[in-house]
Amino acid sequence: MKPISSVSLLILICLFLTEFHATNARGLINKACETSLHKGLCVATIKADPGYKGAKLHDLAEIVLKAATSKATGLQKDVEQLLKERAGTSVESALKDCKDNYADAVSQLEKSKQALENKRYNDVNTWVTAAMNDADSCEQGFKEQADKDSSIGQKTVIFGHLCSNVLAVTNKAAAEFHATNARGLIKKACETSLHKGLCVATLKADTDYKGAKLHDLAEIVLKAATSNATALQKEVGQFLKERADTSVESALKDCKENYDDAVSQLEKSKKALENKRYNDVNTWVTAAMNDADSCEQGFKEQAEKDSPIAQKTVIFGQLCSNVLAVTNKAAAEYHATNARGLIKKACETSLHKGLCVATLKADRDYKGAKLHDLAEIVLKAATSNGTALRKEVEQLLKERADTSVESALKDCKENYNDAVSQLEKSKQALENKRYNVVNTWVTAAMNDADSCEQGFKEQADKDSTIAQKTFIFGQLCSAVLAVTNKAAAGATVSV
């Protein structure tokens, strides 16, 4: 037998890969059209578009939406043509309405395109349904006004089918998107858990996990821990009935109290979680864990053996530990989002927004901060800038003693001495929330820096070598004024 040549082998591999991709694409199209009421049309529409190869469900949704949109545009043109041809006839008014209907439909499908690109699948559903209704209105209106079907009736039916296919395929794409998202989110939520397998399993077992946020996942694990505690509370109660007057009665009585407490603490955690008081969740859940532990410890001491629920208590402890881990993640996300919003607000009126935002973000204290704290952060940055500039001027003065710029540098040194001392006074004022005073001192510091530059120009007939840095110092001071102003407004509101 002749050995297979490498060229033939290559051809075979190519054929195999081509076949493999084709099979894959067919599988995906079938899945995309699975729930469609017009499956044949759905599959044909997708296959007619060369873009379907190597596509994802989301891309297939875009293909069917494109087909529906082009149909709507065609119908809009048809109606316009008919309107021209039949002006002055009995169907003119019905056609005019149809023209409006299709203009709406086309615009709704364009909005759907935007929504689909941004994965706002619910909006796609809303707009495409609206477009279907528009086409329907055209036909209904025609029947009422002209007492017959419009001449585009058949095309309208197909347009309706295309829209219905968009809904079906979008639905599939949305499901895939949410499932992928949810998997990633669960992984993140359980990332630091000591009982990752249980954490992931608890979350996946809950039907609410799809499309949820980290916060919602914290609620799911808390719910699981609470239902576990309630079951254990019941079980201990049952044991207490069965074993009254035995040697374990007293230990079981204590356990019953422990689980009563644990359940009540988990209920408080639920409230705290709802109000995003994540630290309180941590406190209460830790207390519930300790309660379960006390039950076991007490049992060992009093009855000299493990409680009958010892194994279940271990799992309950693991569930609680997972609540702590996931809550921690949710809290971090919450604070980061909050901080971003707060920084935006703090710098809102700043003339140097980029610098303002960058200064705040560069400080690791910004997380979970209040507007007032942000004002302290920018003031700190401006002060350290002013201090550095003072040092620089002192250095220059040493290097250029007895030159033509000595006198100007001497003045600058005084200016920066003043500026730094004014910024230090501002710090005091800010701590005491005397925001107007902050304004006065920071403005004075800005003027000092300005005086240095003015004096330099007058005395030495040129810019100082720190002119560029002075400029940035001025911008930082200006950011301090803007953020302080916001903090002051916030303080007034909250009083």
Ligand X SMILES: *[C@@H]1O[C@H](CO)[C@@H](O)[C@H](O)[C@H]1NC(C)=O
Write down the least CB distance from residue 472 to ligand X, Å. 5
CB neighbour class for 133 (10 Å; exposed up to 12, middle 13-18, buried from 19): middle
- What would the two tokens of residue 136 be? 């329907």
Closer CB to ligand X, 91 or 389, in the complex:
389
Burial track 315-346 (b if 16+ CB lie within 10 A, e otherwise): ebbbbbbbbbbbbbbbbebbbeeebeebbeeb
Minimum CB separation of residue 203 from ligand X in Å reads: 11
CA 472 → CA 137, 377, 442, 469, distances in Å? 63, 16, 14, 5
Minimum CB separation of residue 355 from ligand X in Å reads 6
Considering the complex, state which of residue 28 and residue 477 has its C-beta at the smaller distance from ligand X: 477
Distance CA 480, CA 351 (A): 11
DSSP 8-state secondary structure symbol assigned to residue 277: -
Nearer to ligand X, 124 or 389 (CB): 389
Which CB sits closer to ligand X, 45 or 385?
385
Nearest Cα neighbor of 103 from 146, 82, 134, 141 is 134
CB of 205 to ligand X, least distance (A): 7
Which residues in 274-311 are b (16+ Cβ under 10 Å) and which e? eeeebeebbebbbbbbbbbebbbebbeebbeeebbbee
What minimum distance in Å lies between the beta carbon of 309 and ligand X? 8
In whole angstroms, what is the distance from residue 215 CA to residue 278 CA? 10
Kindly state the smallest distance separating residue 446's Cβ from ligand X, in Å: 14
Tell me the HSE value of 141 on the side-chain side, using a 13 A CA sphere: 20
262: CB partners within 8 A, 6+ apart: 229, 232, 233, 287, 288, 291, 292
- The end-to-end CA distance of the chain, in Å, is 95
Least gap, CB of 130 to ligand X (angstroms): 44
Structure tokens at 148: 């017959």
Q: How near is the Cβ of 337 to ligand X at its closest, in Å?
A: 25
Q: Which residues bind ligand X (CB under 6 A)?
A: 202, 224, 228, 231-232, 312, 315, 319, 359, 381, 385, 388-389, 469, 472, 476
Shortest distance, CB of residue 413 to ligand X, whole angstroms?
A: 15
Residue-wise DSSP of 184-223: HHHHHHTTT-SSHHHHHHHHHHSGGGTT--HHHHHHHHHH
Closest separation in Å from C-beta 356 to ligand X:
10
5-17 per-residue burial string, b: 16 or more CB within 10 A, e: under 16: eeeeeeeeeeeee
**In whole angstroms, how close is the CB of 319 to ligand X at the nearest point?**
6
CA nearest to 442, candidates 346, 375, 390: 375
Smallest distance, ligand X to C-beta of residue 61, A: 36
Taking the least distance from each CB to ligand X, the nearer of 317 and 455 is 317
Query: How buried is residue 447: exposed, middle or buried, by Cβ count under 10 Å (0-12/13-18/19+)?
Result: middle
Q: Which is nearer to ligand X, 137 or 421 (CB)?
A: 421
Structure-block tokens of residue 193: 């858990």
- In the complex with ligand X, the residue whose CB is nearer, 116 or 480, is 480
The candidate with the shortest Cα–Cα distance to 490, out of 343, 346, 356, 353, is 346
| Cα distances (Å, whole numbers) of residue 161 to 53, 71, 87, 104, 129 | 23, 11, 30, 18, 11
Instruction: Output 128 or 236, the one with its CB closest to ligand X.
Output: 236
